Structures are given as C-alpha cells and as structure tokens.
C-alpha cells in the first residue's frame, strides 16, 4: 500500500472555528482539531461576544477544556461586536476576511428564523458569504 499524500495540507493551513459554548460548536471544534492533527493545520478558536454582555460561562474556556490533551496548535481569540449595529455573523465574516483563513469549521445549531432551514442563521450566513471554504457540522 502506498503512503498517503498530504497535498491537501497546503489548502488548510489556518482553520477558524467559531464557538459559542454550545455542544454543536464544540463538536465542530473536535472535527476541526482532527483535520488540524491530520494536516498540520493551525486552529484559531474565536468567540464573537456582544459588547456589554457578560456570559455566565466563557465559551473559550469550554473550548480550551474540550481540547485539553489534544495535540493541536490552537490559539483562542475573542472579538467584540456592537449588537446595535452588527450581528455575530458580520463580526465573524469580518474576522474571516481579515484573518487569512483557509477553512472555517462551524457548528449548525438549527436556530434559523425560517422553518424550512434547520441549520441556523449564523452558519447559513458564514456558509453563503465567507470568502473561503466552509465545513458545516451538525
């Protein structure tokens, strides 16, 4: 049997994983970590926090805990947005565009305003508007 080729690793050097503390976002984090381990990618775990809102549990702390013991290169970043003028989606899309990411791995929570779409408005916005590849995890 021939050794596998890792040509694909060039395409996924820097992976963004938005987390909000939900189990679905943490599941997406584990999928991204698996990709990162296989291809030597760097993960950037990001939480889009509404300015002036305090969360009872820090989503980045939950992400760190979930990745404890996983041999992956991960950085953690919190970005703030003004909920009066922008959405979590727009803040994340700005981060994606400015951060030079090769892949976004996002969890789909299924909280869309449209009854027909069971994916979630943030995941839909990212999947449709991101200037890079998007992997949606259910």
pLDDT tens-digit series, residues 17-70: 999 999 999 999 999 999 999 999 999 999 999 999 998 999 999 999 999 999
> Cα(48)–Cα(63) distance, rounded to whole angstroms?
14
Pair of tokens at residue 127: 């999947």
pLDDT digits (tens, 9 = 90+) for 67-102: 999 999 999 999 999 999 999 999 999 999 999 999
Beta partners for residue 48, in sequence order: 79
Contact 60, 93 (CB under 8 A): no
Task: Give the span between the Cα atoms of 8 and 12, in whole angstroms.
Answer: 7
């Amino acid at each position: 049997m021939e050794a596998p080729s890792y040509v694909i690793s060039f395409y996924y050097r820097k992976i963004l994983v938005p987390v909000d503390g939900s189990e679905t976002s943490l599941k997406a984090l584990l999928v991204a970590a698996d990709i990162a381990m296989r291809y030597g990618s760097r993960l950037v775990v990001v939480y889009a926090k509404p300015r002036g809102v305090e969360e009872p549990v820090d989503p980045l702390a939950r992400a760190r805990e979930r990745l404890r013991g996983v041999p992956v290169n991960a950085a953690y970043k919190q970005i703030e947005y003004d909920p009066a003028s922008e959405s979590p989606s727009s803040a994340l899309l700005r981060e994606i565009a400015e951060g030079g990411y090769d892949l976004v791995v996002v969890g789909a929570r299924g909280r869309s305003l449209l009854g027909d779409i069971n994916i979630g408005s943030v995941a839909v916005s990212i999947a449709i508007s991101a200037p890079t590849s998007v992997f949606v995890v259910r």
